[in-house]
Structure 1
């Protein structure tokens, strides 16, 4: 889509009244240039009172000609064949006035596909959805946001993940500069499923006040060695305990820690084979359960309620409820939605949340410090490794051991003995139950839910492994391996310094850390000064905000010698 090509639009007026330098001669030249580039061009929006259309659609000659679904002064909706499927795209150039945009919202609601069809809406909406999408003077229009949001919700659309600069429009003024997110792409769930890894890139603007949007769909390849991940819904099956007991009962030689890791590794294969036979395919099971129930109910409508049909309908309903429950639990784990526990079936919500979360957290490109762009999985992997190797590289330091003499000795010998003593089974069990059972697993793939469910089976091996660590102070190589996950701190993160690295460790290592934390908890009030406002029970880090505000106000008070304020940003804290 090209918004007023070769012309300029003055923001703040209706497109019909906008100043546009695109003449008939420019239009013919633009068509000839597009044909030379191997693209067809069409301007189906021809209802603007004999003015040049404000929406242009170009497509490659190897694609079939799109079919116009609906047209208006502010939008064009087309349908076209993509492979063996049909998709629908709406291009928007909304009015600058709130009242003028209302017919557009109604037209888009009317264009919502009646059957499950991939649909996306792209363009200049001249409205924003949230207050942080506008910067500069002027009030935020809550009414305009409510109308725009109501249309998005009514059409069941979701925001397309955006890469690059945040704001897509500016008034290009030095004083009274205003920036806003007026251009965007939204799509439905079917579009996300069809075009995996779908995102938009906000390109640099040079001749206009709007930034071009480039919609990209480059689905990432699934790695051939996907790690095992334990699914919590497996614990609800009646044969789960039997499979775990049979695998765990076999003796494994070696140290307690290596024995525990070997048993967990062997259990992975047993659970994989059993799960593939017991839960072959959730989507297929759900469809077959629905078809079976529909067939039985059609038999009842034709022949009446017989005893055999009554039992078949009851069995079909039970099978459908079980399939729905398994389907919902699977996607609830993938979506990682914590706040929704009870209520109606939310499979579709979890499904969409998981897809949007995966799409939003996918790293497609990164910008280096010199401004160059890194793309491709191999190049991205090499750059990330190089970045963090340099980031955590040892720097030359000078030891000042004499400073240790000024630190008071708070802990007594009896306290040190308590910290070094072997934990009992009850303390280890308390640590297991204090950890989050839904937290992301480490390389071994087992979550806290597994250890809680199978505690009577694995208790002896887990406790012996924890005690072995406290007794020898050694961790075998490979046990403390972690998955490094990069999560964006801001929307549209481009550089690695805008990502927060998270380490996902094995649950066994989390148990040891939790035991140490529980032991240190009683000594923290003696080790940490009262001025420390966080990382202690009963204290909030938000209290520091009030303290900082008061100190900033005191900076302007007349004091002898003046005042000095320092803001320290410790990146490696």
Structure 2
């Protein structure tokens, strides 16, 4: 693969079976932020980007540094010349690959190591899948699980199995029957199997597409407007954006999971302090705020209010510790509404001890800037329990209703 003039490009194409990497000193930059000075050749930058796009190459992220070369002068010029690019197959298979810089030593170039972090071994949390309501017997599974204490599990693993594996096996079986049909007429039971497998392929393909689309969080496309490879690429890009590949505490850069976990823990532990008494308070009477008619604000919660909150909930975004989303409550509302309404009754009567299990949240860190490198560059976001979200939505709707009556 030749991307550029050999006098300008010094790189190597590494083929690993069906995957490939393009690495080396390209002696060109992609964007203005790849150089510390303003002396830029924008025409060459544009041609370089066009060459990369025509080859369908994606750059591996460089963690811990911005530049890879220096002219070693008193007022140095720093440039990002050394890069690594991967093809689509590599991006789908090894989505967490990144570049880790080493010390420059005697060279003016920074050595780079292609790093593919080991997958963190942790128990995958329960998550409601968007395709489950389409599975035969789904309501029966929910009713049996909801009516008695049982560990949360994924119905598609226990009842359906791996849809991707089944799809592959089904297609292989159809191929064998297709080949046999070229040599002889299929027997009646073989023909029935061939027809049933073709129908099953359609069903499995739809389930797999829904699953991948939910994982990719692509909401501006209809389900049939893109293939599964597109959703895989979008999902991997989303995972990379959310992944903290490295973090710095101001003294060192950590790339291993245990080290990153320690830096993040110490940072937020240091922010916590002892509560103190408030030195000032508001004089609400002096503010002259209009009086609001609060009639109905403290009334018992009704099923209509709860259903309105469920209808307003997003279908498959940001699940909390319970892994449930708005699509779950909409799909199984007749089976679970009794328990949900009883939970609202406990909230109305102030029985907080009965609601201790839903007073939980999952905290995630989202980058506030594209080049986030320290913990302060991340914003902690709390993902609440789904029932607690419904509590808040019903309260907000009531407050809005009372405010509208006044104004």
Coarse TM-score class (shorter-chain normalised): 0.7 to 0.9
* Partner residue, 2:20: 119
- Asked if residue 426 in structure 1 is aligned to residue 304 in structure 2, the reply is yes
183, 196, 200: which is aligned to 1:315? 196
Residue correspondence of structure 1 range 128-277 to structure 2 within 5 A: 128-130=29-31, 133=34, 136-138=37-39, 141=42, 144-145=45-46, 147-169=47-69, 181-192=80-91, 195=94, 197-203=96-102, 210-223=109-122, 225-249=123-147, 266=150, 268-269=151-152, 272=154, 274-277=155-158
- Asked if residue 450 in structure 1 is aligned to residue 328 in structure 2, the reply is yes
Where 2:356 maps in the other structure, the secondary structure is: coil
345, 351, 358: which is aligned to 2:239? 358
Tell me by how many angstroms 1:249 deviates. Answer: 4.2
Question: In structure 2, do the counterparts of structure 1 residues 152 and 297 end up closer, same or farther at CA, with 3 Å as the change threshold?
Answer: farther
49, 69, 76: which is aligned to 2:12? 76
Given the two structures, how large is their TM-score scaled by the length of structure 1? 0.62
- Asked if residue 487 in structure 1 is aligned to residue 366 in structure 2, the reply is yes
Where 2:247 maps in the other structure, the secondary structure is: strand
Residue correspondence of structure 1 range 364-403 to structure 2 within 5 A: 364-369=245-250, 371-374=251-254, 376-394=256-274, 396=276, 398-401=278-281, 403=283
Where 2:181 maps in the other structure, the secondary structure is: helix
Whichever of the two has the greater Rg, that structure is: 1
**RMSD (Å), alpha carbons:** 3.5
Question: In structure 2, do the counterparts of structure 1 residues 127 and 327 end up closer, same or farther at CA, with 3 Å as the change threshold?
Answer: farther
1:51-82 CA distance string (max 9 Å, x none): xxxxxxxxxxxxxxxxxxxxxx7333355xxx
Tell me by how many angstroms 1:481 deviates. Answer: 1.1
Question: In structure 2, do the counterparts of structure 1 residues 139 and 300 end up closer, same or farther at CA, with 3 Å as the change threshold?
Answer: same
CA distance in 2, matches of 1:499, 1:527: 40
Tell me by how many angstroms 1:180 deviates. Answer: 5.1
Greater mean alpha carbon deviation, residues 178-187 or residues 238-247: 178-187
1:200-255 CA distance string (max 9 Å, x none): 134565766654433212213321x33212212111011101111233345xxxxx
What is the aligned length? 402
Contact 1:195 1:219 survives alignment (8 Å)? no
Question: In structure 2, do the counterparts of structure 1 residues 453 and 174 end up closer, same or farther at CA, with 3 Å as the change threshold?
Answer: farther
CA distance in 2, matches of 1:352, 1:402: 52
Question: In structure 2, do the counterparts of structure 1 residues 487 and 313 end up closer, same or farther at CA, with 3 Å as the change threshold?
Answer: same
Residue correspondence of structure 1 range 327-366 to structure 2 within 5 A: 327-344=208-225, 346-366=227-247
- Asked if residue 478 in structure 1 is aligned to residue 357 in structure 2, the reply is yes
Tell me by how many angstroms 1:197 deviates. Answer: 3.1
Contact 2:209 2:223 survives alignment (8 Å)? no
Contact 1:162 1:491 survives alignment (8 Å)? no
Contact 1:164 1:493 survives alignment (8 Å)? no
Structure 1 unaligned spans of 5+: 1-13, 18-72, 80-86, 88-115, 251-261, 529-573
Contact 1:195 1:217 survives alignment (8 Å)? yes
Given the two structures, how large is their TM-score scaled by the length of structure 2? 0.84
CA distance in 2, matches of 1:205, 1:279: 53
CA distance in 1, matches of 2:271, 2:179: 66
Where 1:472 maps in the other structure, the secondary structure is: coil
Which has the bigger relative contact order, CA under 8 A and spacing at least 6? Answer: 2
Tell me by how many angstroms 1:469 deviates. Answer: 0.9
Question: In structure 2, do the counterparts of structure 1 residues 187 and 77 end up closer, same or farther at CA, with 3 Å as the change threshold?
Answer: closer
Contact 1:331 1:347 survives alignment (8 Å)? yes
